[in-house]
Structure 1
Amino acid sequence: MTTAPLIEQIADRVERLLVRHEELQRTNALLQQQVQALTHERDSLKSRLLAARARVDALIDRLPGNGPAGPSTPTSETRP
């Protein structure tokens, strides 16, 4: 009969598909962990960037002539 080999072929394919499905599930879980780690790293880097930017802005404000207490830039009306 040809039905027995056909059933065996189908069973073999189903087994291979199940193995492949398990492999893909493991791969997906690893990728999700990587995405979570990278998202955390990105958020940390963004936070550090904002803090550094605030420090740089504070330093710029302390430079002579850049703060509210610094001298204003002469305009064409005040120049001789």
Structure 2
Amino acid sequence: MSDLTQIDQITERVERLLVRYEELMRTNALLNQQVDTLTQERDSLKSRLGAARARVDALLERLPQEAGSSTVKPAFKTAASRGEA
């Protein structure tokens, strides 16, 4: 009898572990989707920021030069000018 009870306990624990495993797999899949979504959003924002910086720099280049100043410096350092990719 005690062997049967022990087998029942082991069976119950294995079943609980399987349920927990399935829950963790679903949670992991959802988290991976969130990471993918956030990565895409980040990349889009970085692209928009780069475009905005380029527009600001282009506008600054069109401004008349100040007396005593030979060139207009960009308002922001872009990733390319900082040596980043």
Give the TM-score normalised by the residue count of structure 2: 0.77
Query: Residue type of the partner of 2:52?
Result: A
Max Rg structure: 1
Query: Residue type of the partner of 2:54?
Result: A
Stretches of structure 1 lacking an aligned partner (at least 5 in a row): 75-80
The structure whose RCO (Cα within 8 Å, separation 6+) is larger is 2
Matched with 2:23 is 23
Q: Secondary structure at the match of 2:69?
A: coil
Matched with 1:33 is 33
**Root mean square deviation, CA, Å:** 1.6
How far apart are 1:73 and its partner, in Å? Answer: 2.9
Identity %: 67
Give the TM-score normalised by the residue count of structure 1: 0.81
